[in-house]
């Protein structure tokens, strides 16, 4: 199965332009069946009160299940899982929060015999450490096998609890990301990341990351 993760930065590109169609082009280019999306706006003034999850669904043909983490007036901001399935039945799990920082969470859904977890972790080292621990616990409670995807705001060297739980990225020969990459696709026990591709783009301040997930024999 081909999967992907993409922090879309509320569809604002490196050139400062907000362009949902450009982000949709990148999502389609991944060729993924399941995509974890971060930093989506719905009804916020800064992005023209648009419904970005709805517009991306219409442009890509994917089902985009959006979960709000932050509300400002009538607008919302959050994360999503997108899939070729007409319905994904995803659930939002809230992650530990420190003081008054931005709320964080993980979207969990089951598809094709695999549990997918999409997330966006804190920039705060202390909060992020607690969130990584919580993800490792969550991964042990949901139905295996599990794929974890998202903007973890952390290099692979700081993912100790997840690595201890058996999560792994691609083999070294497929390690196409920069050494300090903070976007990850990790496969839990029973699965492996067979290959990985980074899609560099001006559509966001993050690249998109795509990977082929296979079952271990």
Read off the pTM.
0.95
pLDDT over threshold 70, residue 31:
yes
Q: With a cut of 90, say whether residue 75 has pLDDT above it.
A: yes
Tokens of 105: 């969470």
Q: Would you place residue 175 in the very low, low, confident or very high pLDDT band (cuts 50, 70, 90)? A: very low
Report the pLDDT averaged over residues 158-183. 79
Classify strands 2-7 and 34-42 as parallel, antiparallel or unpaired.
Answer: parallel
- Tell me the C-alpha distance between 101 and 121, whole Å: 11
pLDDT tops 90 at residue 146: yes
Q: What is the spatial distance between Cα 135 and Cα 159, in angstroms, rounded to a whole number?
A: 10
Please give the share of the chain, as a percent, with pLDDT higher than 90: 87
């Amino acid at each position: 199965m081909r999967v992907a993760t993409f922090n879309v930065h509320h569809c604002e590109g490196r050139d400062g332009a907000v362009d949902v169609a450009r982000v949709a082009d990148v999502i389609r280019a991944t060729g993924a069946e399941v995509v974890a999306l971060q930093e989506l706006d719905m009804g916020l003034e800064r992005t023209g009160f648009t419904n970005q999850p709805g517009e991306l669904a219409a442009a890509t043909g994917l089902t985009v299940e959006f979960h709000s983490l932050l509300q400002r007036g009538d607008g919302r901001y959050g994360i999503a899982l997108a899939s070729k399935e007409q319905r994904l039945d995803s659930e939002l799990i809230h992650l530990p929060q420190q003081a008054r920082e931005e709320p964080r969470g993980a979207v969990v859904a089951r598809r094709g015999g695999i549990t997918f977890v999409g997330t966006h972790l804190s920039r705060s080292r202390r909060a992020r450490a607690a969130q990584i621990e919580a993800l490792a616990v969550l991964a042990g409670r949901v139905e295996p096998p599990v794929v974890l995807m998202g903007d973890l705001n952390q290099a692979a060297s700081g993912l100790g609890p997840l690595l201890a739980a058996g999560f792994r990225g691609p083999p070294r020969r497929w390690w196409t990301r920069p050494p300090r990459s903070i976007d990850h696709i990790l496969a839990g026990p029973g699965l492996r990341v067979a290959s990985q591709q980074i899609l560099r783009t001006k559509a966001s301040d993050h690249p998109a990351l795509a990977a082929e997930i296979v079952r271990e024999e």
